[in-house]
Amino acid sequence: MHTLAVQLAPVLAAEKSHVPFYIAGGLLIVWALIVSLVLGRNGDFPSNLQGERAVIAVTALLVIAAAGTAVITAGGSAGATESKTTTSAVTPQVPAPAAPATASTPTPAPAAAATSLKLAADPNNALAYTTKTLSAKAGKITITMANVSQLEHNVTIASGSTVIGATPTFVGGAKSVTVTLKPGKYTFYCSVPGHRQGGMEGTLTVS
């Protein structure tokens, strides 16, 4: 009995859910050993009908107990396995695809309106323009010069010593020049030799 208990102890500790089955099975084995090794050596065993019935009843009880605990523990193990399987089978949550970002098209800034300016040479053949000052907004600027005098003239736009644009030199009619200017002060003049020195010069202010 002691040796059997020592051998069954690790198994019972490892399989707690099978303890009732191991106990019932162990008792059945011990009872079988007692009947075969102890009672069986008695030549007149069982000595009477009452003793025979007692041995049969104890044996049947232990067999039923072992079979019943086997069914119960097996059912418990299956239930535990099924529970673990059900718990671990979790449907992964797939994130919904993000809505594509709508690319916004930048609205182009409205183009600045071009400025148109009028200028004329002195109609009495003097070396002068009809004005010495012009003003305009920064951006594209068109200057139209009329020349009804008998002398050839033009209008030239410069920033310091750098010429930015000019009309052709002409007599009669009108000619135009278009330039793009930043804010600042510019000079307009006639580039025919001697005309600027004679007074055909003015200031263009761009704001």
pLDDT tens digits for range 42-77: 656 666 677 677 777 777 777 777 677 676 766 655
Interatomic CA distance for residues 22 and 9, integer angstroms? 10
Pick the CATH number of 115-206 from 2.60.40.420, 3.30.1490.20, 3.40.50.1100, 3.40.50.620: 2.60.40.420
Q: How much is the average pLDDT of 160-179?
A: 96
Q: How is the chain split into domains, by residue range?
A: 2-85, 115-206
Please give the radius of gyration of the chain, using alpha carbons only, rounded to the nearest integer.
60
d(CA 105, CA 145): 42
More confident residue, 12 or 25: 25
- Quote the pTM value: 0.47
Instruction: Give residue 6's pLDDT band: very low, low, confident or very high (50, 70, 90).
Output: very low
Q: Kindly indicate the confidence band of residue 96, based on its pLDDT and cuts at 50, 70 and 90.
A: low
* Model confidence band, residue 100 (pLDDT cutoffs 50, 70, 90): low
Question: What is the end-to-end Cα distance of the chain in Å, rounded?
Answer: 116
Model confidence over 25-44: pLDDT tens digits?
777 777 677 766 666 666 56
- Residues 203 and 192: beta-carbon distance below 8 Å: no
pLDDT at residue 188, as a whole number: 98
Where is pLDDT greater, at 60 or 2? 60
The pLDDT assigned to 25 comes to 73
What is the rounded average pLDDT of the residues 9-32? 63
Q: How distant, in Å, are the alpha carbons of 15, 32, 59, 63 from that of 45? A: 38, 14, 15, 21
Q: Per the structure block, which two tokens stand in for 91?
A: 């449907």
Q: Considering only 20-29, 30-39, 81-90, 107-116, which range has the smallest mean pLDDT?
A: 81-90
Using alpha carbons, select from 154, 132, 158 the residue that is nearest to residue 144. Answer: 154
Q: Is it the case that residue 150 has pLDDT exceeding 70?
A: yes
pLDDT of residue 14: 43
Indicate if the pLDDT at residue 12 is higher than 50.
no
> Is 199 buried (19+), middle (13-18) or exposed (0-12) by CB count in 10 A?
middle
